[in-house]
């Protein structure tokens, strides 16, 4: 009885206050958490905030405050939205917490000591807003494949995680665990568009960014977002690189499901899965990539991503103020198809 059930959302990036499209994920995950509790599972539900990186450094500078002041403010707003939406999380993790930072450094050190992280030089195309390096072949019409903006040539000394070493293991793992990446279309996309084309070693440090967790043995470098952010799912439970894990980790890991946006399935099903395997830890049972909530009439063919510049941003707190929390939750859960993008307008909400 009371079988453990561990589920997580992605941690929200603390660059700006999130819109309702970002809040959809947390409400969907909350519905699943409540359903599992009703079924008698011993549920642990983790959410939180991702608080490092160049973009945060830049926004804080523009606002004339420190990055820490900036993330404290935004993380507070995000947590406030979770509470306003009646989200029944068990823990809200912040990647600037000292415990998380220390555990991430230990993970980095362990991977380095066992030869899975090595020092090299990164030469590639860099997208500053996305903080991502791309290879020539990944660009779409010469632009960043994630955001469509211009990229520039960049080169820096960096540490790399040996993903290539685990490519055949990963391919086999995904084939043998057909429910691991869900829905099916995402699994095919991962296998055919990314894994079978060749998994390249991943750049896991930066010297150009200051706002991050220092590499423990080389403080010119900070640990790049992947190892920092993805590790939250285990650092929150008290994972220790030396094997002396906390009680929560022993009880709840591996996760039953990571609920994330379809745009970050790649990071979870490739980077995170290989990281865990390299650490000798079990792999989560499922990575679920949900569609996006866009702006526009669901019957219309023209749906847009919400953005400040388009003036179509809808915030959860404004909706809750006007319609009440249950109406907002009902809209998010009933109007969003799980296989394709859904949408919202004030007219539809009314």
Contact call for residue 154 and Zn ion (CB under 5 A)? no
Q: Of the listed pieces 104-112, 127-135, 196-204, 210-218, which binds Zn ion according to CB under 5 A?
A: 127-135
The C-alpha atoms of residue 305 and residue 309 are separated, in whole angstroms, by 11
Give strand pairing partners of 155.
123
Minimal distance, residue 130 CB to Zn ion, in Å:
3
DSSP 8-state class, residue 303:
-
Query: Which lies closer to Zn ion via its Cβ, residue 44 or residue 224?
Result: 224
The C-alpha atoms of residue 68 and residue 71 are separated, in whole angstroms, by 5
- Residue 198: C-alpha distances to residues 164, 191, 277 (Å): 7, 10, 18
Of the candidates 146, 201, 240, 281, which one interacts with Zn ion according to CB under 5 A?
A: 146
Query: Which lies closer to Zn ion via its Cβ, residue 100 or residue 125?
Result: 125
Contact call for residue 147 and Zn ion (CB under 5 A)? yes
Q: Of the listed pieces 10-18, 143-151, 205-213, 294-302, which binds Zn ion according to CB under 5 A?
A: 143-151
Minimal distance, residue 89 CB to Zn ion, in Å:
30
Query: Which lies closer to Zn ion via its Cβ, residue 127 or residue 278?
Result: 127
Give strand pairing partners of 182.
288
| Total binding residues toward Zn ion, as defined by CB under 5 A | 6
Query: Which lies closer to Zn ion via its Cβ, residue 57 or residue 146?
Result: 146
Minimal distance, residue 147 CB to Zn ion, in Å:
3
Minimal distance, residue 22 CB to Zn ion, in Å:
18
Concatenate the DSSP letters of all residues of 131-180 into one string. Answer: TEEE-GGG-BTTB-TTT--B-EEEEEEEEEE--GGGHHHHHHHHHH-TTS
Query: Which lies closer to Zn ion via its Cβ, residue 143 or residue 162?
Result: 143
Contact call for residue 144 and Zn ion (CB under 5 A)? yes
CB 31 within 8 A of CB 87: no
Of the candidates 127, 264, 275, 283, which one interacts with Zn ion according to CB under 5 A?
A: 127
DSSP 8-state class, residue 255:
P
* Block residue for tokens 């866009």: 294
Task: Give which of 5, 4, 7 is closest to 288, Cα–Cα.
Answer: 7
Query: Which lies closer to Zn ion via its Cβ, residue 152 or residue 299?
Result: 152
> Residue 205 has which token pair?
């440090």
The C-alpha atoms of residue 305 and residue 40 are separated, in whole angstroms, by 38
Of the candidates 31, 84, 130, 314, which one interacts with Zn ion according to CB under 5 A?
A: 130
| Residues near Zn ion (CB under 5 A) | 127, 130, 144, 146-147, 149
């Amino acid at each position: 009885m009371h079988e453990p059930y561990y589920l997580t959302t992605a941690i929200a990036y603390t660059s700006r206050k999130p819109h309702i499209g970002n809040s959809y994920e947390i409400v969907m995950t909350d519905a699943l958490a409540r359903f599992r509790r009703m079924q008698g599972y011993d549920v642990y539900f983790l959410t939180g905030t991702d608080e490092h990186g160049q973009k945060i450094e830049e926004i804080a500078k523009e606002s004339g405050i420190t990055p820490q002041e900036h993330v404290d403010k935004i993380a507070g707003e995000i947590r406030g939205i979770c509470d306003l939406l009646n989200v029944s999380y068990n823990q809200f993790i912040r990647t600037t917490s000292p415990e998380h930072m220390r555990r991430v450094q230990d993970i980095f050190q362990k991977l380095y000591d066992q030869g899975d992280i090595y020092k090299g030089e990164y030469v590639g195309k860099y997208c500053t807003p996305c903080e991502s390096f791309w290879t020539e072949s990944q660009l779409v019409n010469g632009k960043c494949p994630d955001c469509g903006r211009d990229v520039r040539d960049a080169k820096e000394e960096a540490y790399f995680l040996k993903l290539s070493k685990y490519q055949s293991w990963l391919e086999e793992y995904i084939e043998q665990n057909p429910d691991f990446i869900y829905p099916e279309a995402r699994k095919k996309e991962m296998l055919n568009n990314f894994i079978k084309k060749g998994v390249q070693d991943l750049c896991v440090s930066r010297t150009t960014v200051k706002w991050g967790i220092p590499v423990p043995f080389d403080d010119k470098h900070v640990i790049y977002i992947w190892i920092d952010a993805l590790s939250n799912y285990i650092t929150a439970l008290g994972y220790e690189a030396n094997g002396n894990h906390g009680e929560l980790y022993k009880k709840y890991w591996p996760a039953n499901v990571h609920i994330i946006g379809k745009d970050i399935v790649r990071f979870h099903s490739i980077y995170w899965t290989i990281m865990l395997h390299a650490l000798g830890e079990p792999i989560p049972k499922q990575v679920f990539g949900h569609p996006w909530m866009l702006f526009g009439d669901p019957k219309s063919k023209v749906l847009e991503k919400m953005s400040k510049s388009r003036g179509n941003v809808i915030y959860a707190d404004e909706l809750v103020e006007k319609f009440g929390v249950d109406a907002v939750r009902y809209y998010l859960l009933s109007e969003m198809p799980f296989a394709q993008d859904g949408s919202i307008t004030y007219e539809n909400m009314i």
